[in-house]
Structure 1
Amino acid sequence: MTRLDTLLRAPVNLAGYRLGVPQVAGALTMVPVHGPERPGIVPPRSGLKLNRVVGYGSVELHNGAGAGVAIVPSHIGYIQEGAQNHALCSAALMGAGETRLFEDACCVQAAQGGYLQGRDQWFFVLPVELRAKALALRGQPGYSKLWQDISAVNNRYGLPARGHLEQILTRKRAVLTQFRSRLELLPGQLGAVFFVGEKFAGLEIAPDPRYFAEMWMPLVCFAYGVAAWRAEPTRPDAEPFEVNDLAGLRAELDRARDRHAESLRDRMPADTEMYSVEQERYLDLRLHTLTGVELAGQVVTEHDRPIYASLFAVR
């Protein structure tokens, strides 16, 4: 396995994290990340609960765990019944039993309508095309602040130019969720590097495999799957292998995998110099927001070691 810190220059210490064999589903490439675990962090689906939406632009979350700090994932959003759908602009740290009101959330549904039934409630992560915009809007009030960018994304995808993110997340859900079944979540996997087409798209690292498993579908299908779905029609058809037997096919497949893995090295960001701001802290945990020319995102560290990271391409 390849060391991650030899391929990505980052403002945090990535020593100990290793890359596995790339997996490809259409225009989306996922490279598994294994590394040191930090048990005890409350995972997002089983631990965090959406308490309520307090008007427009204010979302209340609750850490229902009896013990353990919850790391609220960057740009998590909720599709729910009876209230407007919202997404957060930032990650956060929440103690056990804590209830917190986020007053800078983005409404991602520009008008009433489009609600799902209660049995269909789920959470997502904002598509990568919107994440830099949302990160820049953290701390700023205004529930409609992301509508124009959502409308632009919809327009590029041939959908009505409205600030309705559910046009993609719900109406295209059947297509997007195919990425979850076409890519394999490996035992012990606690992160991934994502590429869309020929470009680096993002790096996601979780505290432990349980946390990452709960983030798997939102990341694969929505954070990166949306861009991959859009890029898929432009991918050229693969040339067939000129082989006559099974052994030859296996050899060609191995060579193709090796070539693809090697090509990924050239797609990693070349300049990852970033400006870091400590956003909040809880006990020994520190949440940092990072901004750079090519990458942006957020990292949670403990004693200067990253235990959560969500870094994405900004262009």
Structure 2
Amino acid sequence: MTEMTALDTLLPGPLSLAGHRLGTPQQAGALTMVPISGPAHPGFVPPRTGLKLSRVVGYGQVELTNGAGSGVAIVPLHIGYIQDRAQNHALCRSAFLAAGQTLRFDDACCVQESQGGYLTERDQWFFVLPVELRARALELRGVTGYSKLWGDIADLNARYGLPRRGHLEQILSRKRPVLTQFRSRLEPQPGQVGALFFVAGRFAGLEIAPDPGYFAEMWTALVCFAYGVAAWHTESATESATAESSTAGPVPFEADGLAGLRGALERDRSARLAEIGGWLAAAPAGPVELTEEDRYLDLRLSTVTAPHLAGQIVTDGGRTVYASLFAR
């Protein structure tokens, strides 16, 4: 898919994704993932094995620890943690943590309106906020108040036909068996450091990690929760209409022999690449605003805001090391 690689145009101003390339797209229902390969940046701690939610100080106040002996941790944007019988939280922003450092986030948001309790030393798993909530969560960075996202979560639940409560577990936990199907139907590729995500043909997000190990540990949180939630809802909304309009399955290739089948498959792949190229061309563009938020040695963490796009990026000089950008 190198002929479609115009990734530099997706990031604003002087920021560069030079050296990154798009791979062969994969589709699971309404969700399309286009793998991104590129240079690996050593010295970064992966989020699952390196980061730990060490303590919930109080509602809306959590502490994360970089437990690695060396390397800086880039806290993934909008990461959240789920644990039985504990108050679940998500972060509104990214951050840097040095090796062994513990950082307190006073602007975290509680995503579980009706469940009490605090974190204990039990197993935990993390997610990334669904894309429908991410723009609002980013706007709320630096704002204290543990219930600040409950109204938006309640609205999202209501749109999905669920009880109108500020309780994200109604989607993340109760729909988890459905959402985790995206993890098995879409497969990360060797050397993959990022992905483009489309939902029903529309650009949904761009994710770039420092190296393949980091991205592999983010895979489930991104494909199942950050983008899988929107895809699942899109599929649910169109399922009945599709059933009414047609009962036919996929149309088989018309081919005479193995050579003909290979030719038909290649034509189908070419048409698919051209279609996704059109999606990329149709993705909204325009000027964006960059706001520097934090520094660690030569690394810079910046917030990207625009009418069509938002998120945060980490750069080292002119190189993009980490990016989590999503459509608004």
TM-score band w.r.t. shorter chain: over 0.9
Percent identity of equivalent pairs: 64
Question: Structure 1 pair 117/280, CA: closer, same or farther in 2 (3 Å)?
Answer: closer
Shift of 1:120: 6.0
- Decide which of 252, 271, 279 is 2:285's aligned counterpart: 271
Query: Residue 289 of structure 1 contacts residue 298 of structure 1 at CA under 8 Å; is this kept in 2?
Result: yes
Query: Residue 78 of structure 1 contacts residue 86 of structure 1 at CA under 8 Å; is this kept in 2?
Result: yes
Shift of 1:8: 2.8
Shift of 1:104: 0.2
Hey, what's the Cα distance between the residues in 2 that align with 1:202 and 1:175? Answer: 21
Query: Residue 30 of structure 2 contacts residue 234 of structure 2 at CA under 8 Å; is this kept in 1?
Result: yes
Amino acid at match of 2:12: A
- The reply to whether residue 38 of structure 1 matches residue 38 of structure 2 is no
Q: Equivalent residue for 1:155?
A: 158
- The reply to whether residue 283 of structure 1 matches residue 297 of structure 2 is yes
Shift of 1:270: 3.6
Shift of 1:117: 10
User: Which secondary structure does the structure 2 equivalent of 1:149 belong to?
Assistant: helix
Shift of 1:80: 1.7
Query: Residue 31 of structure 2 contacts residue 197 of structure 2 at CA under 8 Å; is this kept in 1?
Result: yes
Question: Structure 1 pair 4/273, CA: closer, same or farther in 2 (3 Å)?
Answer: same
Q: Equivalent residue for 2:12?
A: 10
Question: Structure 1 pair 83/74, CA: closer, same or farther in 2 (3 Å)?
Answer: same
- Decide which of 87, 92, 107 is 1:89's aligned counterpart: 92
Question: Structure 1 pair 259/9, CA: closer, same or farther in 2 (3 Å)?
Answer: farther
Q: After TM superposition, list the pairs within 5 Å mapping 1:109-258 onto structure 2.
A: 109-112=112-115, 121-233=124-236, 234=238, 236=242, 239-245=250-256, 247=258, 248-258=260-270
User: Which secondary structure does the structure 1 equivalent of 2:44 belong to?
Assistant: coil
Hey, what's the Cα distance between the residues in 1 that align with 2:54 and 2:122? Answer: 17
Please list the CA deviations of residues 195-217 of structure 1 after superposition, one character each: whole Å capped at 9, or x if unmatched.
00010000000000000000000
- Decide which of 74, 77, 80 is 2:80's aligned counterpart: 77
Question: Structure 1 pair 78/46, CA: closer, same or farther in 2 (3 Å)?
Answer: same
Hey, what's the Cα distance between the residues in 2 that align with 1:33 and 1:61? Answer: 29
Query: Residue 41 of structure 2 contacts residue 211 of structure 2 at CA under 8 Å; is this kept in 1?
Result: yes
Shift of 1:118: 7.7
Which TM-score applies when normalising by structure 1? 0.94
Q: After TM superposition, list the pairs within 5 Å mapping 1:93-104 onto structure 2.
A: 93-104=96-107
Hey, what's the Cα distance between the residues in 2 that align with 1:270 and 1:121? Answer: 37
Q: Equivalent residue for 1:59?
A: 62
Shift of 1:273: 1.9
Question: Structure 1 pair 246/77, CA: closer, same or farther in 2 (3 Å)?
Answer: farther
Shift of 1:40: 1.1
Gaps of at least 5 residues in structure 2 are: none
Shift of 1:19: 0.1
Hey, what's the Cα distance between the residues in 1 that align with 2:121 and 2:170? Answer: 18
Hey, what's the Cα distance between the residues in 1 that align with 2:109 and 2:43? Answer: 29
Which TM-score applies when normalising by structure 2? 0.90
Query: Residue 85 of structure 1 contacts residue 108 of structure 1 at CA under 8 Å; is this kept in 2?
Result: yes
